[in-house]
């Protein structure tokens, strides 16, 4: 073998070795770090939401990313919001909330918490029967507070329910603010499919604005502290303009022809309704603000006129059916309790 050939062979071996070393180094070279942002936090619209909250509310970006990464889309939430109870006719809706079980439970609740209810009525001017009825309709006195994680419910409705995305993004922001203020674990709280919390089913914005520590201690606890629960409901109605001893709704009647032409549920006046043929109490002046509330029965329609305090109830839940159920339940609880006390009164 000539010297030249031996030289070429050695050079080839050296080059092969270098290539093998280079390949080996490339094989063990660590992968480029990938983003740890996952789940909702990885979606572009959620990234924009996070950026807005960082700028507007001073949130820590990493905390928001980690929090929203734990949120999960819930099909059950979307199914529930597309089939609300309020879509039912009155005669079906009413039976869900105005029934012997809730009346009996309402009387017992009133008896148990009479001192707190008396105090709330005195401080805020809101009737005890209304407070009791609200808690009965909302959560059956704490028995039905909802089993959805609030974070999941609000994230699902914020980013996977376009019809009300803006509203629920606002509530999600309020929820995150609430958790920061009160040192709540955002992944721990549970509530309704819409993100309503506690016995009175307050949305996060309502908690921040209207929940009160009615017992004078610490932060408001609307999950377990009955003083705070009762006081917070009373404060909510007071803040929204409840008129002490004011009328809520009165029965009315409409001739069939007028009923077909009437615009129901639109804010108007008693005088305008009378011009359409409404027959209503003569004690109401024509300039009284009102809405006509038609209630579908199994056979026919029943009419009521909602007044100022009726509209205040619809600030809690905008459905007129909800307001009527609260009114009906409150009346029945008050009547049942009065009858019970009458039976047990001394001769």
Cα separation of 262 and 254, whole Å? Answer: 9
Question: Which secondary-structure segment (H or E) carries 306?
Answer: strand 301-306
166 burial (CB, 10 Å; 0-12 / 13-18 / 19+) is: exposed
What Å distances lie between residue 293 and 88, 93, 261, 267, 271, CA to CA?
15, 15, 14, 10, 15
Cα separation of 134 and 140, whole Å? Answer: 9
Residue 225: count of CB within 10 angstroms of its CB: 20
CB 308, CB 243: distance < 8 Å: yes
Helix (H, G, I), strand (E, B) or coil at 144: coil
Contacts of 69 (CB under 8 A, 6+ apart): 37, 38, 39, 40, 41, 42
Residue 133 token pair: 């009825």
Q: What is the DSSP string of 46-75?
A: HHHHHHHHHHHH---HHHHHHHHHT----H
Cα separation of 254 and 301, whole Å? Answer: 10
Active site residue: 138, 171, 173, 181, which one? 138
- Is residue 298 annotated as a catalytic residue, yes or no? no
Residue 244 token pair: 């002490």
Which residues form the catalytic set?
138
């Amino acid at each position: 073998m000539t010297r030249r050939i031996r030289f070429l062979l050695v050079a080839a071996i050296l080059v092969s070795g270098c290539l093998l070393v280079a390949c080996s180094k490339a094989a063990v070279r660590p992968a480029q770090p990938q983003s740890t942002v996952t789940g909702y936090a990885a979606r572009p619209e959620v990234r924009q939401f996070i950026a807005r909250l960082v700028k507007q509310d001073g949130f820590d970006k990493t905390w928001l990313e980690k929090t929203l990464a734990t949120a999960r889309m819930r099909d059950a939430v979307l199914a529930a919001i597309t089939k609300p109870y309020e879509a039912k006719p009155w005669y079906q809706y009413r039976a869900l909330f105005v029934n012997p079980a809730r009346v009996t439970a309402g009387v017992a609740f009133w008896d148990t918490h009479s001192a707190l209810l008396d105090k709330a009525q005195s401080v805020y001017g809101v009737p005890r029967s209304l407070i009791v009825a609200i808690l009965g309709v909302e959560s059956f006195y704490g028995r039905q507070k909802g089993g959805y994680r609030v974070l999941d419910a609000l994230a699902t409705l914020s980013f996977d329910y376009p019809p009300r995305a803006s509203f629920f993004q606002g509530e999600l922001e309020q929820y995150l603010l609430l958790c920061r203020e009160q040192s709540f674990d955002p992944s721990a709280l549970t509530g309704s499919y819409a993100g309503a919390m506690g016995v009175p089913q307050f949305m996060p914005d309502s908690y921040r604005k209207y929940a009160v520590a009615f017992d004078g201690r610490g932060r408001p606890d609307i999950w377990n502290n009955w003083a705070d629960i009762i006081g917070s409901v009373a404060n909510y109605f007071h803040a929204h303009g409840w008129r002490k001893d004011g009328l809520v709704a009165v029965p009315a009647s409409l001739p069939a022809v007028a009923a077909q032409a009437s615009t129901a549920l639109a804010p108007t006046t008693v005088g305008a309704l009378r011009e359409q043929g409404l027959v209503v109490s003569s004690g109401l002046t024509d300039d009284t603000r009102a809405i006509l509330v038609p209630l579908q029965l199994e056979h026919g329609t029943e009419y009521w006129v909602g007044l100022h305090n009726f509209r205040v109830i619809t600030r809690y839940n905008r459905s007129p059916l909800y307001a009527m159920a609260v009114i009906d339940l409150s009346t029945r609880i008050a009547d049942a309790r009065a009858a019970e006390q009458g039976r047990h009164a001394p001769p």
